[in-house]
Structure 1
Amino acid sequence: MLSSHSRDTLASSFSAAHPIAKEQNVFVAQAARAFAHDIATPLQSLCLLVDASDNGRHIPPDFFHQLNQCTRYAMRLAHTWMELTPSSPPQSVELDTLVSDVVQIFFPQHAFIDIAAAPAPIIGWDHLLSRLVQNLVQNAITAGASRIRISVHPGKDQGACLIVRDNGPGFTPQQLASLRRGILRSSKPEGGLGLRICEIIVAHHCGHWTCSSQPGDTRFIINLPPYPHFGEEPKS
């Protein structure tokens, strides 16, 4: 098992120019491909909208509303990717401490933590992992959950496992697919990214996540490796 000193040394090595430059280039390429995939959704909607209007000759009544909706969604998506793509090397992160801090600061009345055995520190970006926890808990609250339980324990291959479980109404596989790809919503002109933000963060850490949901019991299980292996497929 890697000691804390070894992990700190490993973290600092991510900033070394020669051996890490190739991995970081792969990471940037992967992020660029994923962003291109995401941005294609609103752009395709815009193209269909223009085609339906016969290039401006037959403007439907809600044309400008839909145009505004799609463009704002595309802008929000672009800003989110810029915000979530790390610009600094990863550091050693104690996931149990980070989760405890997030709950105490943001959700002291809504969530409780179960840490039976603290995992070893992992290499990652603490601000992104904090955002991940915040989003999952806030999504549960928004969905109507009254009880949210967060578990942190050692994961596969010396990594860490994060489980967020709630008693909300749950959602169907179709609803989950919609949330994971981001959706255009009339209630928010800029659209809703849903769980896509969480997927981006997990992907940045080369992690893997699963979700199961039924009324009264929704679980997100996230496995994070001890450090990101850029260019490798996440392990199932």
Structure 2
Amino acid sequence: MHRLSLSSRLALLFAACTAVVSLFAGVLFSRASEAHFIELDQQLLDGKLMTLRRALPELQSNEREVKLPDELIRQADLSLRISGSDGQRWFDSSAQLPEQLPQQPGLSTLSHDGTDYRVLRAPLYPEKADSPQLTLLLDITHHQHFLQRMQHLIWLTVGLSALATALLGAWSARSGLRPLRRISALASGVSAQSLNSRLPEENMPPELAEMAHNFNAMLGRLDDSFQRLSAFSADIAHELRTPLSNLLTHTQVTLTRPRPLEDYREALHSNLEELQWMAQLVNDMLYLAKSDHGLLMPKRESLELAAEADLLLEFFAPLAEDAQVTLNREGNARIEGDRSMLRRALSNLLDNALRFTPAEGEVRVRMQERADGLSLSVENSGHGIDPQLLPRLFDRFYRADPARREGSSEHAGLGLAITQSIIRAHGGQIRCESECGWTRFVIELPKRD
């Protein structure tokens, strides 16, 4: 079954509402007109009744000729019947009067031979119990014709107004829904090459402005994700190209001629180092892929961060001594977390700090418990980082050092990205600050209930 468009639904809804309102107004006007005519007829007949009572003070049953007042005679649409208290007819002012007239006193309406009458029946002498009965008949055919024409006009107006409203409603709905069609056209044209298209929010109606803003934000996120994915693919190829080339070259050179056993053993050891680095790179990428899909599920155990930090500082102490860098730890804190994951995150930060700390410099680990959790920072002295580079430090394969060593078996630019994924898996946040000759990575972890 074909579904109606939104424009058609709005047009039909407008038409239905207009028809109902027009019909309601028409019915009210028709009822009011009819009530007005009845009131006028009531006043007219009451006046004629009073005139007859004054003109016929002593009417006898044997009187066949009744002298009617001139004002009654001159009014052609008014007729009179006089009957006795027993119902016997005494006098008719017109021969075309119906044989049967209403017997109930008061005002009523009667139709006879295509003529409509307003009938008023009342006693001629109200003070007498056996008073003759007067029946005044007023021809209201022209009133009824007017009401019928008005009803026809009402129906015609309802139909025309509904049709006009449907057409205008369809045009208005189509014009009002133009921004939606623009959104649809933009969405249908979205591709990897057109993610930079945006909707003009300033020209949108208030009802659609928020949707346009969210749509533009979605396109922005898609564009950013696609750019990151493209850069990620390029970085993977960049990182793997050098070790693969080394492996191929070294293997081809080794196989060019027969060599001693020691040369083959040395070549295999060299290839093994490259393969181990590539395996570690693949494992790190899989680790980040699990993080992206929310598959990192940290274990929860009570940890003394000071003890964990001291173990790592002891491990890095020989490297720090060779680089003439001082290692310090301040404060203590307890947390419910995964020991191996947090050790890896802290180890990445310490390794990163040692690499960028100049001789005679210092690396400090600070931790502090707070009411809502804990704060842990790893900071090192030395040259600061450009503020424009800080948001990109946690990107995969990104290195702030312009002297990028391709295919390094030690640093592939994934350490900070892995650290960030571990902290987020624990429900925390990590950020980098660089000012006044110090660079610090601040970790904030919430307190587990």
Distance of 1:200 and 1:179 partners within structure 2: 13
Query: For 1:189, what is the secondary structure of its paired residue?
Result: coil
Give structure 2 stretches of 5+ with no counterpart. 1-223, 245-277
- Judged with a 3 Å threshold, the aligned counterparts in structure 2 of structure 1 residues 106 and 39 are, in CA distance, closer, same or farther, namely farther
Distance of 1:65 and 1:211 partners within structure 2: 26
- Judged with a 3 Å threshold, the aligned counterparts in structure 2 of structure 1 residues 67 and 46 are, in CA distance, closer, same or farther, namely farther
Contact 2:378 2:441 in 1 (8 A): yes
| Residue matched to 1:113 | 329
Contact 2:298 2:337 in 1 (8 A): no
| Residue matched to 2:310 | 100
Distance of 2:233 and 2:378 partners within structure 1: 38
In structure 2, which of residues 287, 309, 315 is the aligned counterpart of residue 80 of structure 1?
Answer: 287
Cα offsets for 1:27-46 (capped at 9, x unmatched)? xxxxxxxxxxx996675248
Residue identity in the other structure for 2:378: V
| Residue matched to 2:230 | 44
Contact 1:39 1:74 in 2 (8 A): no
Please provide the CA RMSD for this pair: 3.9
Distance of 1:87 and 1:114 partners within structure 2: 29
Residue identity in the other structure for 2:340: H
Distance of 2:288 and 2:390 partners within structure 1: 21
- After TM superposition, list the pairs within 5 Å mapping 1:148-227 onto structure 2: 148-157=363-372, 159-183=373-397, 187-189=405-407, 191-214=412-435, 216-227=437-448
Query: For 1:195, what is the secondary structure of its paired residue?
Result: helix
Cα offsets for 1:80-105 (capped at 9, x unmatched)? 33787646632121112211221122
Q: Indicate the percent of aligned positions where both proteins have the same amino acid.
A: 27
Contact 2:298 2:341 in 1 (8 A): no
- Judged with a 3 Å threshold, the aligned counterparts in structure 2 of structure 1 residues 167 and 200 are, in CA distance, closer, same or farther, namely same
How far apart are residue 76 of structure 1 and its match? 5.5
Cα offsets for 1:31-82 (capped at 9, x unmatched)? xxxxxxx996675248889xxxxxxxxxxxxxx868837x979846523337
Structure 1 or 2, whichever has the larger Rg, is: 2
Contact 1:102 1:134 in 2 (8 A): yes
How far apart are residue 227 of structure 1 and its match? 2.5
Query: For 1:180, what is the secondary structure of its paired residue?
Result: coil
Give structure 1 stretches of 5+ with no counterpart. 1-37, 50-63, 229-236
- Judged with a 3 Å threshold, the aligned counterparts in structure 2 of structure 1 residues 130 and 48 are, in CA distance, closer, same or farther, namely closer
TM-score, scaled relative to structure 2? 0.33
Residue identity in the other structure for 1:122: I
Contact 2:303 2:336 in 1 (8 A): yes
Distance of 1:77 and 1:103 partners within structure 2: 23
- 1:137 to 2:350 alignment: yes
How far apart are residue 202 of structure 1 and its match? 0.9
- After TM superposition, list the pairs within 5 Å mapping 1:7-26 onto structure 2: none
| Residue matched to 2:362 | 147
Aligned pairs, number? 174
Which is bigger in relative contact order (C-alpha 8 A, separation at least 6)? 1
